[in-house]
A and B are shown apart, each in its own frame.
Chain A
Amino acid sequence: MTLPFAASPAERRLLTEGRLSGPMPWVIAIMMFLTVLAAAGGLALNHAARNVTGSIAQRITIQIVEANPDLREQQTRAAMAALSAMEGVTAVNRVPDAEIEALIEPWIGGAGEEEGIPVPTMIDADLTEEAHDRLETVEEAIIAAAPAARVDDHAQFLAPLAGLIGSLTWLALALVLLTASALAASVILAVRAALNTHRGTIEVLHLMGATDIQIARLFQRRIALDALLGGTIGFLTAVIVLLLLGQRIGAVGSELLGSATLPPLAWLLLILLPIIGAVVSTLVARFTVIGVLKKML
């Protein structure tokens, strides 16, 4: 009893076999390596985009630009009170002065207020989606409470970054599709070459009454094994590269780069790639063989 896609041990002997002996498993390994890297890049970028847009896309930062420190402090408190009382505002946090000084230090040094340079106060506020949709109203209420307030919408300056990440994600997906297509093309070429090599045996089998499906089973099993072996090699190599890359990114210490990590679901998808590769290769082999055999009597 054999499965429709499998070949019996005796059937296997009909074609000479040698694992990792031909170029096919290595071609598949290279394709899988590139596919896993591209897919990992796409998934990590997608995760980063979700992180960035999810956490701060509905955040606004209010700057109180007032030279008089007393008035500035007064308006800061008024703006915070107005925000806290507002519907749809989930969090209001004043950015600590030390953090602001650290932010502007590269431009004006450690001087700031002592040198007579007015440094604005800053307030971060997180809004609900509904509140963010009516940002103009929120802005008017803040300015009514603090005329020196300037409201910066994070979504505005995140838009180009989100667009870039989105484009890179699509590029990664396109690369995955391209490498998958190249893999399929390699399988087709390999199957056609194998069909030519074994043409004599195939003709004899045909004349004995073998069906196309019986003959296709011999080739698809061979390709499935090559794809599984090559896919596993390519996948493991890519995982090693990804782990090393992860270490390097961690060492950079960038928040944005650091957010480009692979969540567990992404790893599961990557693990599925060699299996999907083997299944796709098997199906491509099957349909290629049947397509070629249909041209024979």
Chain B
Amino acid sequence: MAARMATTIVQFENVGLRYGTGAETLSDVSFSLDGGGFYFLTGPSGAGKTSLLKLLYLAQRPSRGLIRLFDEDVVTLPRDRLPGFRRRIGVVFQDFRLVPHLSAFDNIALPLRVAGVEEDELATPVNEMLAWVGLSDRASARPATLSGGEQQRVAIARAVIGRPEILIADEPTGNVDPEMAARLLHLFDALNKLGTTLVVATHDIHLLSRVSAAQLMRLEGGRLSDPTGALKNPPREPHMGKPRKPSA
């Protein structure tokens, strides 16, 4: 039990999220993720995938429930401690969110600059990352001049350059052709093999079969299920400590 807890880096217990006074977007979401795991999050549009990811990358606090990240309660975490946690998480946004007036090089260098890395120490890791995503020759190009796939790769490079412990990707293959999708998945797999925990939200069911070690989480109507029974740490009753199947 102690060994299993030591590897758990994300834990949700009875998490609910409500925007304003509307209905709950997420209800009673409970799960835990192991460090080094590869997780797919699927579900129909409007199921709450992006909301769940927002909670994971600390862009949103839940309306109720408990979220533990890296063994700390982040729901009540003081605001001034959030940056430290966010630097341990890489995010690939669905719409990339590249800074439009910065070059690909500067966009990728952004997390390092935020972390206070000196300018003369930036070139090597950023160029390595550009090479890794196959964009060495596009280093000085601005996002508007890059194709969708190239922008996607810049976004991935930016998300991983700070060597995050968790990489979260929201529909990373939504804007690229199947060949590029396969390449991106290959990049994710390589990262996962280096020890990064991956959480990938996708509609693309073909992706799921390409990573044999991946586990599946499915959201429907704001509720989490584990249809394949693949989650190694299935949702548990918060007060009982016993494993249970999540409600549909």
**A residues neighboring B (CB under 8 Å):** 8-11, 13-14, 16, 200-201, 203-211, 214, 294, 297
Enumerate chain A residues within 8 angstroms of B97, measured Cβ to Cβ: 200, 203-204
Interchain CA distance A201-B143 in the complex, whole Å: 13
The distance from the CB of A42 to the nearest CB of chain B, in whole angstroms, is: 43
Determine which residue in A13, A209, A211 has the highest number of CB atoms from chain B within 10 A of its CB, and name it.
A209
Cβ A297 vs Cβ B59 within 8 A: yes
A205-B114 in contact (CB<8A): yes
Minimum C-beta distance from A201 to chain B (A): 5
CA distance A209 to B101 in the complex (A): 20
Q: How far is the CB of B69 from chain A (nearest CB, A)?
A: 13
Cβ A208 vs Cβ B119 within 8 A: no
Shortest Cβ distance from A212 into B: residue: B80
Residue of B57, B84, B102 most packed against chain A (CB within 10 A)? B102
**A13-B106, A200-B97, A297-B58 in contact; A208/B114 too (CB < 8 A)?**
yes
Q: How far is the CB of A23 from chain B (nearest CB, A)?
A: 21
Q: A10-B119, A297-B58, A297-B59 are in contact. Are A208 and B86 (CB under 8 A)?
A: yes
Closest-by-CB residue of B relative to A210 is B114
Contact yes or no, B114 A16, CB < 8 A: no
Minimal Cβ-Cβ distance residue in B for A293: B79
Whether B79 contacts A10 by the Cβ 8 Å rule is no
Q: How far is the CA of A200 from the CA of B97 in the complex (A)?
A: 7
B102-A14 in contact (CB<8A): yes
Q: Is the CB of B99 within 8 A of A201?
A: yes
Question: Which chain B residues numbered 19 to 38 have a C-beta less than 8 Å away from chain A?
Answer: none
A207 and B86 form a contact (CB under 8 A): yes
CA distance A13 to B110 in the complex (A): 11
B-chain residues with CB within 8 Å of residue A14 when the two chains form the complex: 99, 102
Chain A proximity of B22: nearest CB distance (Å)? 18
Does B61 lie at the interface of the complex (its beta carbon under 8 Å from any beta carbon of A)? yes
Q: How far is the CB of A205 from chain B (nearest CB, A)?
A: 6
B 59-86 binary contact with A (CB < 8 Å = 1; else 0): 1110000000000000000011011111
A208 to B91, CA, bound (A): 8
CB-defined A-B contacts under 8 Å, sample of 10: A10-B106, A11-B113, A13-B106, A203-B97, A204-B97, A208-B86, A211-B83, A214-B114, A297-B60, A297-B82
**Is B115 positioned at the interface, with any CB of A under 8 Å from its CB?**
yes
**Closest-CB distance, A6 to chain B (whole angstroms):** 14
| Contacting residue for B109 out of A10, A203, A204, CB 8 A | A10
B61, B80, B91, B110: the one contacting A205 at CB < 8 Å is B110
Residue of B86, B87, B91 with most partner-chain A CB within 10 A: B86
CA separation between A206 and B60, bound complex, in Å?
12
CB distance from A196 to the nearest CB of B (A): 16
Instruction: Flag if A207 contacts B109 (CB, 8 Å).
Output: no
A297 — which chain B residues lie within 8 A by C-beta? Answer: 58-61, 79, 82
Residue of B at shortest CB range from A16? B101
How far is B60's CA from A209's CA once the two chains are assembled, in angstroms?
14
CA distance A208 to B98 in the complex (A): 12
Q: Which residues of A contact B91 (CB under 8 A)?
A: 207
Tell me the smallest distance from the CB of A206 to a CB of chain B, in Å: 7
Q: How far is B113's CA from A14's CA once the two chains are assembled, in angstroms? A: 11
